[in-house]
Amino acid sequence: MYINLNDLGDIGGKKNVSMEIEIADLNFRDQEVEIKDDIKLEIEIYHTSDSFLVEGEMEVNLILSCSRCLENYRSSALIEISEEVLKKDMEDLEKLFIDEIIVDNIILSLPIKPLCSEDCKGLCPQCGQDLNEAECDCEIESIDPRLEKLKEFYDD
């Protein structure tokens, strides 16, 4: 999506932009990130001598996959935007391509380890039972591999 910069004026000019944008779902780190609703964008564009400065915020609703239990969950975020677009990198100084700025800021706001909740118990490593729904009967014995040889001492 392009934003028309004709009405921005000379250097020092400012333009307020308020809109809703539909963006396709993203693939990031071999994982699909679904964008649930339109993105609400509130930005100001400043005209400088060498660039256009884009500042503001966007509200986005995402569907992410929990890294512990693998269930999809909804995540809402209010993302601050502060980008400088150099005039020498633009094809047309009368139009600003905003999609790349939006996608980059969404990716930067994604959690490193997405969790559906802080107390998510995840999956049983032996049987795969979702431990948030029910307990399993598996006995999980966790032994430090460096001390495993000492277990033989008590086998007698």
Q: So what's the pLDDT on residue 120?
A: 92
Q: Are residues 72 and 137 in the same domain?
A: no
Q: pLDDT by residue (tens digit) across 79-96?
A: 999 999 888 888 887 888
Position 2 scores a pLDDT of: 83
Q: What percent of the chain has pLDDT above 90?
A: 26
Q: Cα–Cα distance between 74 and 62 in angstroms, integer?
A: 6
Residues 111 and 153 placed together within one structural domain of the fold: no
**47 contacts 9 by C-beta, under 8 angstroms:** yes
Q: Are residues 107 and 130 in the same domain?
A: no
Residues 11 and 63 in one domain: yes
Q: What's the domain count of the chain? A: 2
> Which tens digits make up the pLDDT trace of 112-121?
899 999 999 9
Model confidence at 156, in pLDDT bands (50, 70, 90)?
low
Place of tokens 């086998």: 155
Question: Does pLDDT of 3 surpass 80?
Answer: yes
In this predicted model, what pLDDT tens digit does every residue of 30-65 receive, in sequence order? 777 888 888 999 999 998 888 889 999 999 999 999
Domain span at 48: 2-120
Specify whether the backbone of 43 is left (phi greater than 0), alpha (psi in -120 to 50) or beta. beta
